[in-house]
Chain A
Amino acid sequence: MRSLIDVQDLSTGEIDELIATACDIIQTPAKYSEACHGKKLATLFFEPSTRTRLSFEAAMYELGGHVMSVSSGATSSAAKGESVADTAKTVSCYADIIAMRHPKEGAPYVAAQNASIPVINAGDGGHNHPTQTLTDLLTIYREKGHFDNLTVGFCGDLKFGRTVHSLISAMSRYANVKFVLISPEELKVPSYVKSEYIKKKGIPYVQTEELMDVIGDLDILYMTRVQRERFFNEEDYLRLKDSYILDPKKLEQAKPDLCIMHPLPRVNEISVAVDDDPRACYFKQVLNGKYIRMALILKLLKEAGTL
């Protein structure tokens, strides 16, 4: 049974195909409005989420399907100590496809090994979040029209930011890409990400602590939140959270066609004054998330023979 646990599970051809389907859905939504008629998506969210869960649910509704939802570990059998494997086997009896978020890394993989229906990883702790990466790729494609020949800047928490690692690995597949890694010393990209996806592939990169030194070079600026929940120590969090705040003044030095992205939620790393700038793409990104999830649900249900 084909599931999606890690974006690396998808070939470049499959990513292109998902992006093409998403673009077609955007162009001709009516064509897809009953595509999943009578099919059920189970969203199993054992960790808080607003965007991702609603995005999956909106995606299934817009495909004409139904949604069953567990929105917290506390209200499910997990609270009674049920294993992920048993939950997956049980839900397979009710639903046609599962979207799972879980605080433990690898939980959706365990679910996929035990379910008889496709499982989509909707985020497992600080590990993988493949549909966010697909969302980011669709946004880049819609804003730029291509993936090659881009200088992509990542700013903020590059150590714990799973979306950053995943997007670096996905973008490293394309030609003439350059990475600019902007973070405080404590939150640098882990060395294994750098060695596996950047150095091994001979991709040029710059590592700096100063956003303003490089902002003018960027085609994409991917901002990230310094996440409180990834810190063991409150003192470290408070010291680092304001390191990089993007505001209209800083943007004066950026390219006129810069694409500013953020996986959201934002705290204060992008000033609200930036929201009206045409270069701000983070709310478009949210919308793109729904379309790419529609494309993914369709693909996996077709491969499972359900559609």
Chain B
Amino acid sequence: MNIDSISNGIVIDHIKADNGMKLYDLLNLGNLNCSVAIIKNVNSKKMGKKDIIKIDANIPIDLNVIGFVDPDVTVNIIHDGKVVEKKDIGMPEKLVNVIKCKNPRCITSTEQELVHIFKLADAETKTYRCIYCETKANI
């Protein structure tokens, strides 16, 4: 399968298979006017299977969202057909208004204007918890 290479834009590579759509949704890529390609289940020597996202524009992108979903991905910035920058992705300490707390007893369930914040509680298990009620984050 061939997907055209892009001359100016962003390539998110080495996404664990099945995480591509999660990233697409959480980065709100569906709202963009430019071309966006999600390539699922690409054969990879290192990973077996992986997903790739190509965005045909140099838009600002929330690296915290990427780090939350999949801190091992590679983000390449493409300019004039060449990789001009590789962004380091790690697990962010804090997520602000990326996901919502699903605990019905959490104060955020009734006070709609509160900022939804999750903090990294355990880097080993990649666990994030709501700062209000400590409920574990689920994508």
A-side interface residues toward B, CB under 8 Å?
Answer: 83-85, 102-107, 109-110, 124-127, 192
Contacts and interface: CB of A to CB of B under 8 A. Distances in A.
30 contacts: A84-B111, A85-B111, A102-B107, A103-B105, A104-B105, A104-B106, A104-B109, A104-B110, A105-B103, A105-B105, A105-B106, A105-B107, A105-B132, A105-B133, A105-B134, A105-B135, A106-B106, A106-B130, A106-B132, A106-B133, A109-B107, A109-B132, A110-B111, A124-B107, A124-B133, A125-B105, A126-B105, A127-B133, A127-B134, A192-B136
Contacts of A84: 107, 111
Contacts of B133: 105-106, 124-125, 127
Interface residues of B, number: 17
Given A105-B133, A109-B132, A127-B133, A83 B113 contact: yes
Contacts of A85: 111
A109 B107 CA distance: 10
A207 to B, nearest CB: 22
B139 interface: no
B1 interface: no
A295 to B, nearest CB: 26
Nearest to B135: A105
Nearest to B122: A196
A52 to B, nearest CB: 18
Contact of A110 (B107, B109, B134): B107
B64 interface: no
Nearest to B109: A104
A83 B111 CA distance: 7
Contacts of A109: 107, 131-132
Nearest to A6: B134
Interface-centre pick from B103, B107, B136 (highest chain A CB count, 10 A): B107
B95 to A, nearest CB: 16
A104 B110 CA distance: 8
Contacts of A83: 111, 113
